[in-house]
Amino acid sequence: MRSAIIMLAALLAFAAQPAARADDAGDIRATIAGQLDAFNAGDGAAAWSYAAPNIQAIFPTPDVFMGMVQSGYDPVYRSSNPVFGPLKAEGQGFRQEVRITDRNGKSWIASYTLQRQADGSMKITGCSLRKGDDVAV
């Protein structure tokens, strides 16, 4: 009986995980790369379009969003050499770490959270930065 309860709990926990799709990794890379390209091009509307509704609610226009990115996320705003690390399922979405180089040649790790939306698109729900431990080129 006890093993049946443990098995049921394990099945319920597995069922609660979001169903992974074959194109998740590709969609995640395309979303992050698209936003990085938009930042580098100074295209606020395109960069903002990759943000999930929770981010767009906090920063309700592309101009407000770009102001926040420029002041708080300069390594992402003007980055180069993105290298994608392993993709991890997390909660109802995903975590993707990306090594980037800032405009001064310093290495950073941008840790993105993303979630597939009801319309099927992949959107960025958050990003945090930490200094990289390698030497950037």
Q: How far apart are CA 7 and CA 107, in angstroms?
A: 45
Pairing verdict, β 107-116 and 80-90: unpaired
- Per the rule left: phi > 0, alpha: psi between -120 and 50, beta: everything else, 81 is left
Q: In this predicted model, what pLDDT tens digit does every residue of 13-41 receive, in sequence order?
A: 333 444 556 689 999 999 999 999 999 99
Which residue in the block uniquely carries the two structure tokens 């309860």? 5
DSSP label of 120 = S
pLDDT at position 7 over 90: no
pLDDT of residue 82: 97
Domain segments of the chain as ranges: 21-131
Query: Which residues contact residue 75 at a Cβ distance below 8 angstroms, ignoring those fewer than 6 apart?
Result: 100, 102, 106, 108, 110, 129
Report the length, in residues, of the chain: 137
Q: How far apart are CA 47 and CA 65, in angstroms?
A: 9
Q: In this predicted model, what pLDDT tens digit does every residue of 53-87 receive, in sequence order?
A: 999 999 999 999 999 999 999 999 999 999 999 99
pLDDT of residue 20: 57
pLDDT of residue 39: 98
Is the domain spanning 21-131 CATH 3.40.50.720? The answer is no
Question: Structure pTM?
Answer: 0.82
pLDDT of residue 134: 66
